[in-house]
Amino acid sequence: MRDRLRRHAASAGLVSVALCVHTGTLGAQATSVAKPPAKPPAKGLTAIGATSAGTPVYLETKSVTRAGGIITATLRVGLQPTIKTAQGDMVSMRSIAMIDCANKTTATKERWFYFDERGTKEARHDKPGKPGYGPALKGSLADVAIAHLCAEKR
């Protein structure tokens, strides 16, 4: 019984299990459990912030171009929560975004969803016929991109 309680406690994030000698009852104590450290980004990626879910947003540094007041850049992010499909869970996304800093709006040129964090097993690819600009939701990938790419140079 003690082993069963330990397994259950571990799956629930509980780290201490004890048997009370006086009453004969089992108890568990919860403590905060630190998440494993995030993997360092791949070569050519720069962490530029995090979404409201706490997921890091990465910029492919060599992809940034500026033309006519529009910044085009490729961004990557892990999906929290993952998107469930019949083929498996989509866990990461890569997006080519166009950012209009003057109006603080974005448009997606292309985006890919992946079954793995490294972005090697493609799940889906979207390419709108005519991208439309719109405001970014607070704490979203687009919001993080606008904050980083439209920040005044110091």
Confidence at residue 11, expressed as pLDDT on a 0 to 100 scale: 44
Whether residue 30 contacts residue 15, with contact meaning beta carbons closer than 8 Å, is answered with: yes
Strand partners, 107: 98
Confidence at residue 58, expressed as pLDDT on a 0 to 100 scale: 94
- In which residue ranges of the chain is CATH 2.40.128.710 found? 45-149
The pLDDT tens digits of the residues spanning 94-149 come to 999 999 999 999 999 999 999 998 888 999 999 988 888 999 999 999 999 999 99
* CATH number of this structure's domain 45-149: 2.40.128.710
Q: Are strands 45-50 and 88-100 parallel, antiparallel or unpaired?
A: unpaired
User: Whole-model pTM?
Assistant: 0.69
Strand partners, 151: none
Confidence at residue 109, expressed as pLDDT on a 0 to 100 scale: 94
Whether residue 139 contacts residue 146, with contact meaning beta carbons closer than 8 Å, is answered with: no
The pLDDT tens digits of the residues spanning 4-61 come to 444 444 444 433 334 343 434 444 433 333 343 455 567 789 999 999 989 999 999 9
Residue (of 54, 106, 44) closest to 80 by Cα position: 54
